[in-house]
């Protein structure tokens, strides 16, 4: 398998929109499950709030495709909102088994051969190595890795999901946690298994005689193969930039940006302080690699006159209060990771603002979305 087709992830706004222009939603529907398929590589920008799934959807719909021809693409965009709505409702309970306890758990650690890209399954090892190099892993390989880790290697999903989140440019706690739980059978009715034949088919590889070269039924009843038996305790830690002094104009409100909101056109024409807030407590809870942190900082450069503040929001409040007699005025975008911010919270840019709350299955959620999608004025403007 070649994963060399994974593109770079430029951080300037113009190149990001060029990538949106290149989406082929029809070919996407046919090939997205293949590692060489026509996926968009947009999640690092969507997860970080540079662009929204709504903007992407509107951009594609303007080209006039019949809805039925691009339904798969529209559904995948909706998965992001489905998981975000779950996070809104579940709050920190998102990080526990959502529907039922994961069955058949042998340990709560990480499997060494997966972490070291040495499982002996060539397509998986190559993909993991490329992921460490690029920060991107194809959806199908994420599923294979999670299945090997949790179902064949019998690890509890939580620590491995943190490890994956740590290394993903597109790390999104909702998509990540729910997907791991879905594969491990804690957020689905059964565990997901893949065998060598399935991996060969979707990764264009031809390997045989591996520990996965058997039926998925048999794999489900195996004891842990020796290739997945060594485990270790994984702990990520984030290297934050050194704190620099920032200048706040006390006459103006302050817009709070963060690692999930790096939108360069948010309140663009308003004259305000703009601060990228990197809270140590957030990154202690959800650590990210140096590559990911550099990506976040690079994306923030699209926002004019932004300043980076490393500290807790309370410290920033104090800093602003000390520079003014008036009460400091903050504005942020609503997000479940940042409910503790003070001040006004702008609504996020939802495709389906009326489809809210917890749905126990994506298809229950999608049924409501597909009704909304037929409302013509929903998709006007950008």
Ligand X SMILES: Cc1cc2nc3c(=O)[nH]c(=O)nc-3n(C[C@H](O)[C@H](O)[C@H](O)COP(=O)(O)OP(=O)(O)OC[C@H]3O[C@@H](n4cnc5c(N)ncnc54)[C@H](O)[C@@H]3O)c2cc1C
Q: Which residues bind ligand X (CB under 6 A)?
A: 32, 39-43, 46-47, 53, 76-77, 79-80, 83, 139, 142-143, 146, 164-165, 168, 170-172, 175-176, 179-180, 183
Closest CB to ligand X among residues 141, 316: 141
Closest CB to ligand X among residues 238, 254: 238
**Cα–Cα distances in Å, from 102 out to 89, 149, 153, 309, 360?**
21, 13, 13, 39, 17
Q: Are strands 273-278 and 254-257 parallel, antiparallel or unpaired?
A: parallel
Closest CB to ligand X among residues 90, 267: 90
Helix-then-strand count for the chain, H and E: 16, 7
Shortest gap between Cβ of 82 and ligand X (angstroms)? 8
Tokens found for residue 58: 């509107």
Shortest gap between Cβ of 192 and ligand X (angstroms)? 9
**Which helix (H) or strand (E) segment is 255 a member of?**
strand 254-257
Separation CA 162–CA 123 (nearest Å): 22
Q: What is the DSSP letter of 107?
A: B
Closest CB to ligand X among residues 287, 328: 287
Closest CB to ligand X among residues 176, 210: 176
Shortest gap between Cβ of 319 and ligand X (angstroms)? 32
What region does 357 belong to: left with phi over 0, alpha with psi -120 to 50, or beta? left
Closest CB to ligand X among residues 171, 328: 171
Tokens 């997907």: give the residue: 179
Shortest gap between Cβ of 363 and ligand X (angstroms)? 14
Tokens found for residue 110: 């990480």
Separation CA 240–CA 57 (nearest Å): 34
Shortest gap between Cβ of 145 and ligand X (angstroms)? 7
Closest CB to ligand X among residues 111, 183: 183
Closest CB to ligand X among residues 16, 277: 16
**Cα–Cα distances in Å, from 21 out to 27, 66, 234?**
14, 18, 39
Shortest gap between Cβ of 324 and ligand X (angstroms)? 38
Q: What is the DSSP letter of 241?
A: P
Separation CA 142–CA 183 (nearest Å): 10
Closest CB to ligand X among residues 180, 257: 180
Closest CA to 347 of 359, 357, 334: 334
Dihedral sign for Cα 169, 174, 177, 178, please. negative
Q: DSSP alpha helices (H): ranges in 94-172? A: 112-115, 122-134, 139-147, 158-167
**Cα–Cα distances in Å, from 263 out to 213, 266, 320, 336, 350?**
46, 6, 23, 17, 14
Closest CB to ligand X among residues 121, 246: 121
């Amino acid at each position: 398998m070649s994963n060399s087709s994974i593109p770079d992830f430029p951080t300037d706004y113009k190149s990001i929109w060029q990538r949106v222009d290149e989406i082929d939603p029809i070919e996407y529907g046919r090939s997205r499950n293949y590692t060489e398929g026509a996926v968009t590589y947009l999640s690092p920008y969507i997860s970080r709030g540079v662009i929204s799934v709504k903007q992407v959807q509107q951009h594609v719909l303007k080209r006039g495709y019949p809805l039925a021809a691009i339904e798969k693409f529209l559904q995948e965009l909706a998965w992001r909102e489905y998981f975000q709505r779950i996070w809104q409702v579940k709050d920190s309970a998102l990080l526990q088994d959502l529907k039922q306890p994961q069955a058949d758990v042998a340990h709560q650690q990480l499997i060494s051969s997966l972490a070291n890209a040495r499982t002996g399954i060539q397509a998986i090892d190559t993909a993991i190595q490329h992921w460490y190099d690029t920060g991107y892993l194809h959806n199908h390989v994420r599923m294979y890795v999670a299945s090997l880790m949790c179902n064949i290697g019998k690890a509890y999903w939580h620590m491995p999901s943190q490890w994956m989140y740590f290394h993903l440019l597109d790390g999104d706690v909702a998509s990540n946690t729910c997907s791991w739980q879905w594969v491990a059978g804690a957020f689905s009715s059964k565990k997901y298994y893949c065998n060598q034949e399935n991996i060969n088919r979707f990764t264009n590889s031809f390997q045989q005689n591996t520990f996965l070269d058997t039926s998925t039924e048999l794999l489900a009843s195996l004891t842990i193969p020796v290739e997945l038996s060594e485990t270790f305790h994984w702990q990520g830690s984030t290297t934050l930039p050194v704190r620099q002094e920032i200048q706040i104009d006390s006459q103006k409100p302050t817009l709070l940006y963060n690692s999930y909101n790096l939108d360069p056109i948010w309140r663009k024409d308003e004259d305000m302080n703009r601060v990228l807030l990197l809270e140590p407590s957030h990154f202690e809870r959800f650590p990210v690699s140096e590559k990911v942190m550099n990506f976040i900082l690079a994306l923030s450069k699209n926002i004019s006159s932004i300043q980076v503040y490393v500290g807790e929001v309370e410290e920033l409040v104090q800093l602003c209060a000390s520079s003014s007699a008036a009460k400091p005025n903050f504005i942020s975008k609503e997000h479940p990771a940042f409910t503790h911010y003070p001040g006004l919270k702008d609504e996020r840019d939802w495709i389906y603002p009326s489809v809210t709350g917890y749905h126990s299955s994506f298809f229950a959620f999608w049924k409501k979305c597909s009704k909304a999608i037929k409302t013509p004025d929903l998709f006007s403007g950008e």
